[in-house]
Amino acid sequence: MLLPDSSRNRLIGIGIVSGAYFCFAVLDTSAKWLVSSLPVLEVVWLRFVTHVLFMLIPMSRQGGITLSGIRRPGLQLLRALMLPTMTAMNFWALQYLQLAETGSIQFAVPILVALFAAWLLGERLDKGRWAAVIVGFVGVLVIVRPGTQGFHPAILLSIFNAVLYALFNLLTRSLAATDPPAATNVLSAFGAVVLIAPFALSVWVTPTTPMQWVLVALTGLAGGTGHLCLAHAHRYAPTSTLAPFLYQQILYMTLLGFLVFGDVPGTAVLTGAAIVVASGLYLLLRERYSGLG
């Protein structure tokens, strides 16, 4: 249930959504550490297994979640398949790239959402929005640096992940019109566990150190808490207020990348990230003010 719109509630929502994006940065940091010693598919599967286990706690207190409102099971299955696929692409890229690099590419998602919404849903893009889309892709090219020695093929995984995530957002938006969001989230998490289990178990390597098990648990806790915070934040503040705070995640990822792995982003990554963030913020603010108008 949405709470009354007030300055206090908006501040609470901003605080909660900031916690969500910190959790997602912790998730990627933990995953980057784990994929250096465990197979990517195993880490992806364990991330969703622990996520589901943490989800069961609030679900049991709330008496469970009914799936009777599901009207489009085919699209639900597609969403459940997309979720581990995106996670696998991201974790695979993290084996080779800095957190700041993968995070910067991910911030192209709002730009891609605008482009795909115009292409697939017929939503109108005016000249200002088209300019933001083009500038955003220029920022991505600055980060990717195709044809230079700074280019790493793993960056393509981050690009494919961003494209898939943009389509995932549009699919989620479509499902929200007919299916209960809580049931959608539960089905996606459980579906990811089931769908990826055979592939993960085929490459299984048992974690042998306490640190590995702690980080496995942390991926589920950080991922589950992050999604829970996102859901609660939208009870306190509208999307137009919360959306720009997505970009603070690049600060968390850059800081954690430096503290944990000693990574220092290059000039191209920082410049490209600034361009992508600026174009994405422009699009978000245009949506906010057009909504007010």
How far apart, in whole angstroms, are the C-alpha atoms of residue 48 and residue 45? 5
Which residue, among 58, 78, 83, 144, has the nearest Cα to 108 in the 3D structure? 144
Residue 215 pLDDT more than 80? Answer: yes
Six token digits for residue 233: 């934040």
pLDDT value of position 292? 46
How far apart, in whole angstroms, are the C-alpha atoms of residue 164 and residue 67? 26
3-state secondary structure of 269: helix
| Matching residue, tokens 């599967």 | 45
142 or 45, greater pLDDT: 45
Q: What size, in residues, is the chain?
A: 293
Exposed, middle or buried, 169 (CB in 10 Å: 0-12/13-18/19+)?
middle
* Residues 88 and 157 sit within 8 Å (Cβ to Cβ): no
Percent of the chain whose predicted confidence (pLDDT) is above 70: 87
pLDDT tens track for 88-120: 999 999 999 889 888 888 878 877 887 887 777
Q: DSSP character for 257?
A: H
Q: Please state, in angstroms and as integers, the Cα–Cα distance from residue 78 to each residue in 18, 73, 152, following that order.
A: 29, 9, 30
Six token digits for residue 230: 């996102």
